[in-house]
Structure 1
């Protein structure tokens, strides 16, 4: 039995250059995990996709994330929570100098991203996880999409015991 399922699975183009394999990891596995959890009684799904996710996009990454959302929503959980971070900040296990440079630049850009652009602010993986946990402990509508501002607001909520 399961109550909730949390899905934050994904790969990188560097590790998975083949589009079919990339799609299998970023789309098929999360959707399969959600299906299995639903079959085992899960009432809520919490999934990390990406800012701008859109199943109709011409961009492979954005389209893949949008298709994950579409297909998980179609499973008709009692509660579906979609977390759409932009740049995921923080340390990486592997050395990725280009990404390190982009993350450093994002730290400078973050305070400049205001109003509707705040959804592009960077956030750490730990902050996303805490937001997911807080969302799981609260009341929610059937479908809720969280951008940076929503995830940041959840960070300010006091911890509650489950």
Structure 2
């Protein structure tokens, strides 16, 4: 672990994404963290005293290994079918990259991993998206960090920079029907992207077990 900084160190994958951008803001503003490293494909043009930016992608991770050093690793990687129609590339972004990130971070001393997944993952599913999320969770857990935190949002609410017409329509629908999801169905309630990030940062401050799963209720309990 870094010995020249006082406070926790974190590394974030997916800092340019919707939840990841909120995570980055939260980590940089949190006095508990002395250094925040991000791995991004292109310069985000952000300057902060605590920020260390590494330029690279999935293929570049092994070459960045010596700089992927942190107490905690936050993974908010993901893509969409529209932007990544090729299932092989989609799987690489949604599965291979998070698993490799967790593996390298652990090898370099990370004790805790925080992963954004999705509601209803199932490694045995015949549905590609659900199966991918299930396999990602399974394989990140298998990296055997001291603490693994998995966050399973349903519809991720909030205003995105990019225009997603269908998603905007679904968010409007969820804002109306959210109260109808009660009991075991609560996990399907939509949640704001900024609140997912807040829940992840709150979880990092609490004692935790080996594997911790957060669905809608558990995330809201942390807010």
Give the alignment's TM-score, normalised by structure 2.
Answer: 0.69
Residue 11 of structure 1, aligned match among 72, 75, 79:
79
Q: 1:49 and 2:133 equivalent?
A: no
- Computing the radius of gyration from Cα coordinates, the structure with the larger value is 2
- Root-mean-square deviation over aligned CA pairs: 0.6
Residues 122-137 of structure 1: pairs in structure 2 closer than 5 A: 122-137=190-205
Structure 2 counterpart of 1:148: 216
Alpha-carbon displacement from aligned partner over 1:21-66 (angstroms, at most 9, x marks no partner) = 0000010111111111101100010001100011111110010000
The offset of 1:89, in angstroms, is 0.6
Gaps of 5+ in 1: 156-162
SS at 1:10 equivalent: coil
Distance 2:147 2:171 in 1: 33
Gaps of 5+ in 2: 1-68
The offset of 1:95, in angstroms, is 1.2
SS at 1:145 equivalent: strand
Structure 2 counterpart of 1:121: 189
Instruction: Show structure 1 runs of 4+ deviating over 4 A.
Output: none
Distance 1:36 1:130 in 2: 25
Residues paired across the two proteins, number: 155
The offset of 1:152, in angstroms, is 0.3
Which of the pair has the greater relative contact order for Cα pairs under 8 Å at 6+ separation?
A: 1
SS at 1:137 equivalent: coil
